[in-house]
A and B are shown apart, each in its own frame.
Chain A
Amino acid sequence: MKVKVLSRNPDDYVRETKLDIQRVPRNYDPTLHPFEVAREYTRALNATKLERVFAKPFLASLDGHRDGVNCLAKHTRSLSTLLSGSCDGEVKVWNLSKRECVRTLQAHEGFVRGMVVRFCGTSFFTIGDDKTIKQWKMETPGYGEEEEPLHTILGKTVFTGLDHHQKEGVFATCGQQVDIWDEQRSSPIRSFTWGVDSFSSVSFNPVETDLLGSCASDRSIVLYDMRESAPLKKVIMTMRSNTLCWNPMEAYYFTCANEDYNLYTYDMRYLEKPLVVHMDHVSAVLDVDYSPTGQEFVSASFDKTIRIFPKDAGHSREVYHTKRMQHVICIKWSADSKYILSGSDEMNIRLWKANAAEKLGVLAPREREAANYSQKLKEKFQNHPQIRRIARHRHLPKSIYHQTKELRVMKDARRRKEMNVRKHSKPGAVPVVSEKEKHVVTVVK
């Protein structure tokens, strides 16, 4: 007699320890789950609501400066170190994890205009209104030692911007002209001039390390190659750009913060028109910094807000503000892409989360999976009106809210007028000019 017995391997259904989760056998046949979309929609809605509930981006305020914070610098080797220079010439070194100032030094007389940490992280450079470039040791001087710069270079004119090469002992300053300096020499190894301008900022390309970009007061952005004797190209816009930041992951893209409330992302090879116009600020944009992942950037504005833009989106995904924060002068995105640091007029440095609702610290695997799942759900249902409404909702200060409205009205009026003019003139006499093309005056070779 044959006996047939059903046999199952206990490994398939018995958990290894009692701490494990019980195995739940499931039947994934779609006919058995008729309401999957509805259920996921509910989950997405809940996730979106929870995200708004947990969105608490402000982490800490570092106070200690006795004047407005004019510049910030990230440490290149240490995540927890931040340097800040203020309008009274004082430089402070901060420990971010302890949220305290670890060192203070009087670097300049007048403003500290720019500051940058050398790529090795052992020293940093400052420039000031006193026409000097100073190099300082990163280490705090020992007991009884004087706080003295390693080197001091006395320039002919005031310096306004400073940046250091990514790998070599070369740095660039700008003022009346853009100078390239060797760390070992007291005179610039190269100076670039193109017309008579004053430059507001200069920045090295972090990927293609010999390229530079600078913003000039004649409303232009000028590109340079450190190895060439002449600048490369210049684009003149309708208004002046304040700062410029290169994308650290995509060699030929850079974004500039403009006085006309917008930011512009350019491809350095095609300067005729920007790739994206990032709108949302209601006052001049003063500073911009890319996330080290190159996916997003953050901008600081005179309108007392910070906004985070995806690199290819026309509008911001996030706006940060507090009642006490005044005009934001400088901004940095931390090197681990998790935090944002802002220095503002009212002498404070603020620490923000880059993702407002993100849980900080180490996540348990299940926690992380749940977060990933809810993130994907939000993405999947982002076009559904209820979810979009909740996800987009931000509280804005009254003034900004009204100003946004006002700007919209103005823009609409202008467009309407243009349309009317076009309607009443010969066909082709008033051409349609796209938003991107509007802001570029000319490209100078």
Chain B
Amino acid sequence: MESEDPEMEREDAEDEREDAEDEREDEEDERRRLRLVEAITALRGGRKKPLGERSEAAVRVSEFAVTAEGERQKVQLSDLIEGAQQSPAVPTQTRKQLQNLRRSQKTVEQPLSRQESERVQRDLAFQKAAVHVSRWKSVVTQNRRSEQLVFPLNQEPSGPKPLEKVVTGWRVQTPLEQEVFNLLSANKQPIHDPVLSPAEEASLRAMSLEEAQIRRAELQKARALQSYYEAKARRERKIKSKKYHRVQNKARRKEFLKQFDQMVKTDPNGALEELNKMELARMKERMSLKHQNSGKWARSKAIMQQLELNKDLTQKVRSSLSNLEEQEDRASDPELLPDFVNDAEPGQVSSNPWMRGELSAEPAEAQRSEQEVAAAAAQKEQHEEGEALLRDFESRRKLRQKEEEEQEAAGQDVEDSDEEEGPADQEEEGLSEFRSLFRGVAEGLKEAAATASSAGCSSAPLEGGLIRIRTVEDAELLPPEDVELLPCSESPPSAPQEEAPPTGQKARGSKKRKRNIELKEVLTKDAKTVTVPLAPTLTDTADGSDEELDQRGLIMEAFAGDDVIADFLRDKRKQEDAAKPKVVDLTLPGWGEWGGQGLKPSSRKRRRFRVKVAPAEPRKDQHLPGVIISEQRNGSLSAHQVSALPFPFENHAQFESAVRTPLGRTWNTERTVKKLTMPKVLTQLGTIIQPMTEEELARKKASAAGAGKEDPHKTKDQKRRARKGRKRHQKQLKQGSGRTEGIRCECKVDLVD
């Protein structure tokens, strides 16, 4: 009954409110009944007290083992919340919740086992840790991708820092300090070393009343003066009259001169400075091309004045140069002397032709043309003739132009200048006439010489070593002051190559010789040299050339029988022959006809069984006489070649381009080399590298954010760079395909060099 009672209660929980009073009555009844039962049992005399359980203090007390006041009774929810129902202190919401709780039928689930709960706990903790540690991902990937890693990470530049930086970098540390400094700055008190506050400083700077008045008056006066001068300047600037300005300038100059004279007496140092200044101004003006009378206007009128000025300005240079140069200048003055005078000093001409002016330049040109003529003469006579004709025309045209110009100039001179210049012009005219005449004569001579020399050259291969003597004879034929013999070394390099094959053939019969000889020395064999008489250029080189000749003679003697070119040609021919496809004769004597000694298979049969091979493709070096291109695979190279595509590369082109890009400073600019050879990891000597810290994470994040802001610019820039790189790459590919891919060129001897 007792045990049923509470169950009953739970069952009719809905109408508990109504039953609450009844219940209380029931309980009281029960208590009474219990007391009665006890009393009765006590009356029976048997002292049967229930033994109280003895228990140890448990380590853990289960929340489910709470007992009610009676021994075997369970605590009911109703027992606990009884008071809550009545007391007005409990809010109604709580009451409602309690009611709902009482009404609900659900039993609480059994808690998880310890193992399981621990596992859940671990799993959660791991997930948390994994997420937490993943925030380093950006840093890690960034570091893996970066071209260079610099350790230690939080590096500060070594060496002393500027004071400003230290001061600005200094921060208030603790809140107390911060408060103190806030107070100080709010009251305008000095924080750093200066002990005075701004107000104190201002009071110190203040002055007395009289002083202030005087100062004010001064300032007023100065301002008035300034305005007056400004007005004056404005007025003067508005004046357009040239005359006024000229007069004024003149006056100013005079004044200055006077001052300068005085200065010379009183203050020589200052005068010197002034002089320097003047000099500088003069130099500037001289450099400014202002008085060069090069414009149209300058030519037409008012030249004289400017010319004079120019002369004045330029005179200083002449005086500053050495005497010798002055003499030369005078000698080379185009107005006074004909061109052959210039030729007397060829060294000067070659060294700085622009110092000579017009006339000295022309002989140089003439020389060049002579050289050209000579070279051409070595190749074709016809061509030479044509060129001579052309040159003739050219010279005539030039002469005519010159004359016209001079006439014009003379006319102008007559118009503009005084009578003094008249005779000079006439003189000039005479000179120019003489010059033109002379030039005509000289050129005629040159042509003759050129033809003679070309004749000599054409006969050169036949006559071998006698050339030099012949050329001397040639030289004798030529006018001595105009044309001079050149040593063999000066001969154009292309000439021997032209002559090479016949001599090579001639010398083929000779014995075996040494190789690996300096090409240039060998190429000086007298059999192949073609000396061409050229116009005189350097007279002072005569001694040197003699020595050189001696040297050459020695070398020639040493390698007398050596003919590398012939060897090379033989080599080439041999290779050509070897590469030619051969006709295979498959005729078997005795098949289908009589065989035996002295019997030959019939021609028909032979024709039939001869396998004709298709002609080989033209050789790549067929038009390159100095080169042998071998298209055979060189087995010794394969040991050095990569057989399979290495890992990070995706295709062959990529790998090849990577290999082809040179790194060294022989092929790249300094900056590129620095960039290309930048080491992947940079550490500092003798510093401890600390592990990465949280600061690094923050810094990387900040930098990434900064980069994100400037992203459009950066990407554009990168794109441009990438495009450039691609272009360059393509270019390289094109260039490279010629030299490395496919055939391997073997340049044994390069004659063109």
Asked whether A225 is an interface residue with its Cβ less than 8 Å from the other chain, the reply is yes
Closest partner residue, chain A, to B663 (CB atom)? A376
Closest partner residue, chain A, to B688 (CB atom)? A335
List residues of B (118-134) whose CB comes within 8 Å of A's CBs: 118-119, 121-123, 125-126, 128-130, 132-134
Q: Pick the contact of B641: A39, A231, A252, A384 (CB < 8 A).
A: A384
Report whether B685 and A40 are in contact in the complex, using a CB–CB cutoff of 8 Å. no
List residues of A (144-168) whose CB comes within 8 Å of B's CBs: 166
Report whether A77 and B669 are in contact in the complex, using a CB–CB cutoff of 8 Å. no
B669-685 Cβ-contact flags toward A at 8 Å (1 or 0)? 10001001111010111
Report whether A293 and B140 are in contact in the complex, using a CB–CB cutoff of 8 Å. no
Report whether A2 and B125 are in contact in the complex, using a CB–CB cutoff of 8 Å. no
Q: Looking at chain A, what size class is its interface with the partner chain?
A: 35 or more
Closest partner residue, chain B, to A229 (CB atom)? B121
Asked whether B354 is an interface residue with its Cβ less than 8 Å from the other chain, the reply is yes
A367-386 Cβ-contact flags toward B at 8 Å (1 or 0)? 00100110111001101111
Listed from nearest, the 10 A-B pairs whose CB atoms lie closest are: A206-B691, A248-B691, A292-B689, A251-B136, A383-B646, A232-B126, A228-B125, A372-B677, A335-B688, A36-B662
Give the complex CA separation of A295 and B664 in angstroms.
Answer: 27
Point out the residues of chain B lying under 8 angstroms from A373, CB to CB.
663-665, 673, 677
Asked whether A53 is an interface residue with its Cβ less than 8 Å from the other chain, the reply is no
Give the complex CA separation of A43 and B121 in angstroms.
Answer: 61
Report whether A251 and B133 are in contact in the complex, using a CB–CB cutoff of 8 Å. yes
Give the complex CA separation of A228 and B660 in angstroms.
Answer: 57
Asked whether A46 is an interface residue with its Cβ less than 8 Å from the other chain, the reply is no
- Chain A CB within 10 A, most for which of B118, B134, B151: B151
CB of A265 to closest CB in B, whole Å: 13
Asked whether A19 is an interface residue with its Cβ less than 8 Å from the other chain, the reply is no
Give the complex CA separation of A362 and B685 in angstroms.
Answer: 8
Report whether B688 and A269 are in contact in the complex, using a CB–CB cutoff of 8 Å. no
Asked whether A40 and B686 contact (CB < 8 A) given A28-B669, A166-B691, A384-B642, the answer is no
Report whether B691 and A2 are in contact in the complex, using a CB–CB cutoff of 8 Å. no
Asked whether A225 and B129 contact (CB < 8 A) given A31-B735, A369-B677, A373-B677, the answer is yes
- Chain A CB within 10 A, most for which of B129, B690, B739: B129
A24-56 Cβ-contact flags toward B at 8 Å (1 or 0)? 001010110110110111010000000000000
Q: Pick the contact of B136: A207, A231, A383 (CB < 8 A).
A: A207
Closest partner residue, chain B, to A376 (CB atom)? B677
Number of A-B contacts (CB under 8 A): 163
Point out the residues of chain B lying under 8 angstroms from A76, CB to CB.
688
Report whether B659 and A292 are in contact in the complex, using a CB–CB cutoff of 8 Å. no
Give the complex CA separation of A250 and B684 in angstroms.
Answer: 20
Give the complex CA separation of A41 and B125 in angstroms.
Answer: 55
Q: Looking at chain B, what size class is its interface with the partner chain?
A: 35 or more
Asked whether A337 and B691 contact (CB < 8 A) given A26-B666, A292-B151, A380-B659, the answer is no
Asked whether A196 is an interface residue with its Cβ less than 8 Å from the other chain, the reply is no
Report whether A39 and B136 are in contact in the complex, using a CB–CB cutoff of 8 Å. no
Asked whether B105 is an interface residue with its Cβ less than 8 Å from the other chain, the reply is no
Asked whether A336 is an interface residue with its Cβ less than 8 Å from the other chain, the reply is yes
Report whether A33 and B667 are in contact in the complex, using a CB–CB cutoff of 8 Å. yes
Q: Pick the contact of A211: B129, B642, B683, B691 (CB < 8 A).
A: B129
Report whether B640 and A252 are in contact in the complex, using a CB–CB cutoff of 8 Å. no
Asked whether A230 is an interface residue with its Cβ less than 8 Å from the other chain, the reply is yes
Asked whether A293 and B666 contact (CB < 8 A) given A250-B136, A252-B134, A384-B642, the answer is no
17 contacts between A and B (CB under 8 A): A2-B292, A31-B735, A40-B663, A41-B640, A166-B691, A223-B129, A228-B121, A230-B118, A231-B122, A232-B129, A250-B136, A268-B129, A268-B133, A293-B683, A336-B684, A337-B151, A380-B659
Asked whether B92 is an interface residue with its Cβ less than 8 Å from the other chain, the reply is no
Report whether A372 and B678 are in contact in the complex, using a CB–CB cutoff of 8 Å. yes
Asked whether B668 is an interface residue with its Cβ less than 8 Å from the other chain, the reply is yes
Asked whether B143 is an interface residue with its Cβ less than 8 Å from the other chain, the reply is yes
Asked whether B732 is an interface residue with its Cβ less than 8 Å from the other chain, the reply is yes
Report whether B691 and A336 are in contact in the complex, using a CB–CB cutoff of 8 Å. no
Asked whether A79 is an interface residue with its Cβ less than 8 Å from the other chain, the reply is yes
CB of A172 to closest CB in B, whole Å: 16
Point out the residues of chain A lying under 8 angstroms from B448, CB to CB.
none
Asked whether B658 is an interface residue with its Cβ less than 8 Å from the other chain, the reply is yes
In addition to A269-B130, A372-B679, A380-B663, 15 A-B residue pairs with Cβ atoms within 8 Å of each other are: A2-B294, A5-B354, A28-B668, A34-B739, A228-B125, A231-B125, A248-B689, A250-B140, A251-B140, A252-B133, A336-B687, A375-B677, A377-B664, A386-B639, A386-B640
List residues of B (610-666) whose CB comes within 8 Å of A's CBs: 639-643, 646, 658-660, 662-666
Closest partner residue, chain B, to A360 (CB atom)? B685
CB of A44 to closest CB in B, whole Å: 9
Asked whether B357 is an interface residue with its Cβ less than 8 Å from the other chain, the reply is yes
Point out the residues of chain B lying under 8 angstroms from A251, CB to CB.
133, 136, 140, 692
Asked whether B149 is an interface residue with its Cβ less than 8 Å from the other chain, the reply is yes
Asked whether A249 is an interface residue with its Cβ less than 8 Å from the other chain, the reply is yes
Asked whether A1 is an interface residue with its Cβ less than 8 Å from the other chain, the reply is yes
Give the complex CA separation of A224 and B660 in angstroms.
Answer: 51
Closest partner residue, chain A, to B678 (CB atom)? A372
Asked whether A3 is an interface residue with its Cβ less than 8 Å from the other chain, the reply is yes
Report whether B642 and A383 are in contact in the complex, using a CB–CB cutoff of 8 Å. yes
Report whether B125 and A385 are in contact in the complex, using a CB–CB cutoff of 8 Å. no
Report whether B639 and A385 are in contact in the complex, using a CB–CB cutoff of 8 Å. yes
List residues of A (254-313) whose CB comes within 8 Å of B's CBs: 268-269, 292-295
Give the complex CA separation of A335 and B176 in angstroms.
Answer: 39
Asked whether B358 is an interface residue with its Cβ less than 8 Å from the other chain, the reply is yes
CB of A48 to closest CB in B, whole Å: 13
Asked whether A36 and B646 contact (CB < 8 A) given A31-B735, A336-B687, the answer is no
Asked whether B276 is an interface residue with its Cβ less than 8 Å from the other chain, the reply is no
Point out the residues of chain B lying under 8 angstroms from A231, CB to CB.
122, 125
Asked whether B226 is an interface residue with its Cβ less than 8 Å from the other chain, the reply is no
Asked whether B350 is an interface residue with its Cβ less than 8 Å from the other chain, the reply is no
List residues of A (306-339) whose CB comes within 8 Å of B's CBs: 335-338
Report whether A230 and B122 are in contact in the complex, using a CB–CB cutoff of 8 Å. yes
Report whether B689 and A336 are in contact in the complex, using a CB–CB cutoff of 8 Å. yes
Asked whether A30 and B667 contact (CB < 8 A) given A207-B692, A211-B133, A293-B689, the answer is yes
Asked whether B740 is an interface residue with its Cβ less than 8 Å from the other chain, the reply is yes
Asked whether A426 is an interface residue with its Cβ less than 8 Å from the other chain, the reply is no
Give the complex CA separation of A229 and B125 in angstroms.
Answer: 9
Report whether B667 and A36 are in contact in the complex, using a CB–CB cutoff of 8 Å. yes
Report whether B658 and A30 are in contact in the complex, using a CB–CB cutoff of 8 Å. no
Report whether B686 and A207 are in contact in the complex, using a CB–CB cutoff of 8 Å. no
Report whether A37 and B740 are in contact in the complex, using a CB–CB cutoff of 8 Å. yes
Point out the residues of chain A lying under 8 angstroms from B126, CB to CB.
223, 232-233, 445
CB of A281 to closest CB in B, whole Å: 24
Closest partner residue, chain A, to B119 (CB atom)? A445
Point out the residues of chain B lying under 8 angstroms from A223, CB to CB.
126, 129
Give the complex CA separation of A30 and B739 in angstroms.
Answer: 11
Point out the residues of chain A lying under 8 angstroms from B740, CB to CB.
37
Asked whether A377 and B663 contact (CB < 8 A) given A3-B354, A30-B735, A31-B735, the answer is yes
Point out the residues of chain B lying under 8 angstroms from A208, CB to CB.
132-133, 136
Point out the residues of chain A lying under 8 angstroms from B641, CB to CB.
384-385
CB of B627 to closest CB in A, whole Å: 13
Point out the residues of chain B lying under 8 angstroms from A372, CB to CB.
677-679
Report whether A384 and B683 are in contact in the complex, using a CB–CB cutoff of 8 Å. no
Asked whether A248 and B735 contact (CB < 8 A) given A37-B660, A386-B639, the answer is no
Report whether A230 and B125 are in contact in the complex, using a CB–CB cutoff of 8 Å. yes
CB of A97 to closest CB in B, whole Å: 10
B165-190 Cβ-contact flags toward A at 8 Å (1 or 0)? 00000000000000000000000000
Asked whether A40 and B662 contact (CB < 8 A) given A1-B358, A251-B133, the answer is yes
Report whether A381 and B659 are in contact in the complex, using a CB–CB cutoff of 8 Å. yes
Report whether A385 and B643 are in contact in the complex, using a CB–CB cutoff of 8 Å. yes
Report whether A380 and B122 are in contact in the complex, using a CB–CB cutoff of 8 Å. no
B689-718 Cβ-contact flags toward A at 8 Å (1 or 0)? 111110000000000000000000000000
- Chain B CB within 10 A, most for which of A228, A230, A233: A230
Closest partner residue, chain B, to A337 (CB atom)? B683
Point out the residues of chain A lying under 8 angstroms from B678, CB to CB.
372
Give the complex CA separation of A343 and B432 in angstroms.
Answer: 100
List residues of B (50-106) whose CB comes within 8 Å of A's CBs: none
